[in-house]
Each structure stands twice: as C-alpha cells, then as structure tokens.
Amino acid sequence: MPRRNDISSILLIGSGPIVIGQACEFDYSGTQACKALKEEGFRVILVNSNPATIMTDPGLVDATYIEPIRLPVLERIISQERPDALLPTMGGQTALNMAMKLDEAGILKKYGVELIGADIEAIQKAENRELFRAAMEKLGIPMPMSRVVHSVAEALDVAEQIDYPLIIRPSFTLGGEGGGVANHQEELIQIATNGLSASPTQEILVEQSILGWKEFEMEVMRDHSDNCVIICSIENFDPMGVHTGDSITVAPSQTLTDVEYQQLRDMSFQIMREIGVDTGGSNVQFAVNPRDGQVMVIEMNPRVSRSSALASKATGFPIAKIAAKVMTGDVLKDILKKFNVKDLNTFNVKESVFPFNKFDGVDLVLGPEMKSTGEVMGIDSTFLSAFAKSQIACGTILPSKGKVFISIDDQNKKYILGIAKKLLDLSFKIVATKGTSKFLDENNLNVETINKVKEGGPHIVDAIKRNQIDLVINTTKTQGSIRDSYSIRRTALTYNIPYYTTIRGAKIAVDTIEHLKNSSLKVKSLQDLI
C-alpha cells in the first residue's frame, strides 16, 4: 500500500537534552524515523533543543530548529512551517508530553495538525494511571492493586488498605523520577512528597509491591490494517523493584516458557488495540510471578521506547524506521519485503552506565527511580560471553582471582550459597560481615569475617582502600541497612572495584568469571552480524 497522500509535511519533536531517563536511544530512533519519512517523500521538520545529536546534522531533514521544546516556540514553528502532521512517538516522554500540551492549548486544532502514530486519547489512556487501569479492567488483564492520589494524605489512606512495602510511581515523568519503594509511613511521606512534586499533573500511583517478580518487556508493532507483530521479548535480569532502564536486560528473554510467551504476546496485542495505538511501535511491560506463573501488566509506552534501540540491534528489525513507515500508510507485509530482517541467533545483553562517580553522596542501590545515563550492549552466541562483553563495555573488569566481599540481607541469604560455593571452587577467598559469615559457616563454607564500618576498624572499607578486595556483592533491604552499607558501595566505586547489589546480578557475574576461565571472547562488528 502506498504512503498517505493526504499529508505532505510532518513535524517531529526530538527528546531534547540527554538526561537521566532519556538519552541517545531516542536520538537513534528519531534519526531512523527522519530517514524513513524522507525516503517516503515527505517534507520533514525537526525541533530539538540538543545540537549534539545525529538527528540535527545538516541535510538529514528539510528544516531543523534547534530551539527550546516549549509551547510558545513550537506554536511559532507550527505557524511558520504549517505541517500537516505531528509525529510525537519518537522523542520519548518529552515529545509525548509536548503533544499533550499542544492539544490542550488548542494549537493543533488551530493550525489543522494531525497526530500520527498515537492520538491524544491513546496517549492519555496509556499515560494516565486511572485510565490505563480502567482499560485493563475492561480487558480482564490483572494489575497490581493501586490507587492514584493527589496528596500525601490520600497516599496514607491507601497505605491502610494495601500492606507495605508500597511502590510509588509519579505520572508523566521521565525514568520514574520521584518514585521509590516505601517500607513504612515515614518513607511513604517522603517519597509521596517527592513524587507529587515531580509529576506535572501532581499525581502519583500508590501500588501494591510485587518486588521479586520477574519483569519482561514486549516490543510491539501494528499497522493500520491491524496486523500486529512482536518484534522482540526482553527480560530484565534484575527483578521487579529495579527500573527497567537500570536493570541488566537480555533479548530474547531467557526464562519465559512457551505458554507464558504466548500469553504475553496475546495480552500485548489486546492492550495496543484497546489503548488505541493504531500504527507504529509500543512497549508493554509485564511482571511474572516465578512461583506460579501469574502475570500482571505494569504499564505501556505508546511510543518507540528506550528498549527499541536494543531490540533493533538484537533482531536486525529497524523498529523506528518501520514504525515511521506504517504511521504514514504502509503495511507490515509490504515493508518487510524491502528489509533483509533475519534471525541473528545471538544473545544480546544490555548493561546500564551510571554517573555515580561524578556525584558525591549518591548511593549505588537501584530502585524504581532511574539513575543511569547511558547503556552498552554485548552480543555473542552464548549468554555469558555476551554478558562479559557488556561488562567490559561499561568499564567493569571482572576479576579472575582474589578476594570477594559478601554482605547479604536475611531475605536473600539462602540464595547466596551457590554463588559463594562457586567462588570458593574457583579459588577465590571470601570475606563477609558477621551475619553473612555465620550463615556461610553454618553451611560448611569457609570464609573470613570482617567488621562493618560501624563496628570499628579494621573494617571492610579499610580493606577496599588497601586494594585487598577484588569484587563486592552487597544486597540490602531496610533503609537502615542501606545507610549502614553506603560507604562500602561508595568506596568500591571510587577504587573501581566491580560491585553487584542484586542476587541475580551477582550470580551472572560469578557464572561469567567461571565461563571466562574456560573460554575466550571473540569480536564481530555489528555490520557483520546484520
């Protein structure tokens, strides 16, 4: 089917400056979309406040405005350029929020600008927590118990109905800004206050905790003939409770059963249709209970997501480029004939890059609020080699020998046994805090005990500073233990010691150390793969 002939010019809003929650992934997506629209013969107008991007390079589009992404500026540009359509789904949350503001101000109607990809109703149903819940209830797709509130007092009321811990999710924010996990009333008051301040609509979702469930993302594409396809399934290797932008992720997913995959696939299509994303790409996030396989939907992004760059590289399927083409009239079966999309048969591991060393006083513990400013990717024919490459790319060099520090919260102690045994089998020495050391000794694992900082020297921070520690594994649960162990994580960062704050991350790291003792890494260019 040919491109739409009722529109000739399209305005694309970029994601603006690189910030936590929104980085160069959207420059990639936006650039691919610009190229696709130009190929189809449209006049493309770009607004992006960040000149340090590929999409603002001369000649990529017909008109480039390096201007603040603000309502008065955009109205002036729309008035001057008179685009027929606005594409809001390639510029992350910035572009979606600005499309909402343009509609609310009557600017789109005033100048006759059509939204393509996702209309206002679809954006509202996906982004507004209450509307999204209502849509899921209509479909019969379960979600965690929750309530949208607009004040701290209302949040405290919800806490009386839903047990702690509670997840706080502000509406319309980047990377979960202002969110967190509240384990008791004092934390709830603090996080709710921050979340209400961060949300442009002064609303937060107070949600039942499903910490520890597995988290999956489905990258979905739909054309105007209602053909739908799952481009890629992505698994977060950190469990629910860690923002997907900060988690180690792997594509394709590794632990979904075929039944679970088909269930998530069918739900993703239902959700995309119900929300009303008629054409283009979307991202749907699910939680799966590892004990019984129960599935809940977490949220949907009615746009090309942060994960689409990963999924594109992992599959050879150029998501943003194809999304732009289906938004302007093409259908998937015709487009796919033009692209040599092939099964790469690779494991693709994304690791996040954090700016912790640039900010004094910032803790390394991960949670629902995103902290990373970038990401890297390792690709290989085996998962552990792909993981090793991702670690090297983000500057983490896993040790092949030496001494490992382990301090584990009570809830996770039972999971550390296999990891500790493997480290000892690999000839590492282990030092642990008293509680962890006692537990390991009781399970016939010979380890050395070392003091916590508050117990006095010589303690673990002293050992790190003396270059006596080669790897840190430190999980915490309570705010008290997080505060107590802060100096350990911070010192490990300062001295460039690899550290892992989740059990699953630690297990993968130790498995990879074993793997690298028996295998060498091979390098291929992305061009050779695709």
The model's pLDDT over 138-167, given as tens digits with 9 standing for 90+, comes to 999 999 998 889 999 999 999 999 888 898
Picking from 191, 194, 16, the residue whose alpha carbon sits closest to that of residue 95 is 16
Taking a C-beta distance cutoff of 8 angstroms, is the pair 448, 430 a contact?
yes
pLDDT for res 2:
52
Using the 3D structure, point to which of 278, 313, 344 is the last residue of a domain. 344
**One domain, residues 225 and 336:** yes
pLDDT band at 472 (very low <50, low <70, confident <90, very high): very high
- The angle subtended at Cα 184 by Cα 246 and Cα 241, nearest 5°, is 20
Contacts of 423 (CB under 8 A, 6+ apart): 404, 430, 510
**One domain, residues 263 and 331:** yes
Taking a C-beta distance cutoff of 8 angstroms, is the pair 248, 237 a contact?
yes
Which whole number is the average pLDDT over 405-413?
91
Which whole number is the average pLDDT over 76-98?
92
Name the strand (E) or helix (H) holding 282.
strand 280-288
**One domain, residues 336 and 243:** yes
Q: Sort 51 into a burial class: Cβ within 10 Å, 0-12 / 13-18 / 19+.
A: exposed
Q: How many domains is the chain built from?
A: 4
- Is the residue at 314 inside a domain? yes
**One domain, residues 161 and 110:** no
**One domain, residues 218 and 340:** yes
- Is the residue at 203 inside a domain? yes
Comparing 352 with 451, the larger pLDDT belongs to 451
Token pair 């996770």 is found at 412
**Lowest mean pLDDT: which of 6-20, 46-60, 348-362?**
348-362
pLDDT for res 1:
42
Picking from 393, 389, 261, 324, the residue whose alpha carbon sits closest to that of residue 31 is 324
Using the 3D structure, point to which of 96, 116, 136 is the last residue of a domain. 116
Give the tokens for residue 415: 């999971």
Q: Sort 65 into a burial class: Cβ within 10 Å, 0-12 / 13-18 / 19+.
A: buried
**One domain, residues 201 and 226:** no
- Is the residue at 523 inside a domain? no
**One domain, residues 431 and 449:** yes
pLDDT band at 341 (very low <50, low <70, confident <90, very high): low
* Whether the predicted pLDDT of 503 surpasses 50: yes
* Whether the predicted pLDDT of 446 surpasses 80: yes
**One domain, residues 331 and 413:** no
Q: Is the peptide bond before 458 cis (omega within 30 degrees of 0)?
A: yes
In the chain, what percentage of residues exceed pLDDT 90?
55
- Is the residue at 349 inside a domain? no
CATH code assigned at 248: 3.30.470.20
- Taking only the tens place, the pLDDT of each residue in 260-302 is 999 999 999 999 999 999 898 899 999 999 889 999 999 998 8
- Is the residue at 430 inside a domain? yes
**One domain, residues 218 and 304:** yes
- Taking only the tens place, the pLDDT of each residue in 366-389 is 777 787 778 889 999 999 999 999
Which whole number is the average pLDDT over 4-23?
83
- Is the residue at 304 inside a domain? yes
pLDDT for res 423:
97
Q: Is the peptide bond before 239 cis (omega within 30 degrees of 0)?
A: no
pTM of the model: 0.85
**One domain, residues 316 and 220:** yes
Q: What is the 3-state secondary structure (H, E, C) of 396-447?
A: CCCCCCCEEEEECCHHHHHHHHHHHHHHHHCCCEEEECHHHHHHHHHCCCCC
**One domain, residues 192 and 231:** no
Which whole number is the average pLDDT over 490-506?
89
Contacts of 108 (CB under 8 A, 6+ apart): 86, 99, 102, 114, 115
Partners of 235 in beta bridges: 216, 250
Which whole number is the average pLDDT over 103-119?
94
Picking from 270, 273, 304, 303, the residue whose alpha carbon sits closest to that of residue 286 is 270
User: Which structural domain, as residue segments, surrounds residue 326?
Assistant: 214-344
- Is the residue at 383 inside a domain? no
pLDDT for res 493:
86
**One domain, residues 26 and 72:** yes
pLDDT for res 478:
62
Contacts of 89 (CB under 8 A, 6+ apart): 95, 96, 117, 118, 280, 281, 302, 303, 304, 323, 327
Comparing 169 with 515, the larger pLDDT belongs to 515
Partners of 350 in beta bridges: 249, 377
- What type of residue is 437? S
The average confidence (pLDDT) of the chain is: 89
CATH code assigned at 456: 3.40.50.1380
Residue 50, SS3?
coil
Taking a C-beta distance cutoff of 8 angstroms, is the pair 240, 200 a contact?
no
- Is the residue at 133 inside a domain? no
In the chain, what percentage of residues exceed pLDDT 70?
96
Using the 3D structure, point to which of 179, 208, 237 is the last residue of a domain. 208
Comparing 105 with 524, the larger pLDDT belongs to 105
Picking from 501, 122, 428, 417, the residue whose alpha carbon sits closest to that of residue 276 is 122
Ramachandran bin of 175, using left for φ above 0, alpha for ψ from -120 to 50, beta for the remaining angles: left
* Whether the predicted pLDDT of 327 surpasses 60: yes
**Lowest mean pLDDT: which of 146-155, 344-353, 429-438, 511-520?**
344-353
Picking from 435, 427, 426, the residue whose alpha carbon sits closest to that of residue 406 is 435
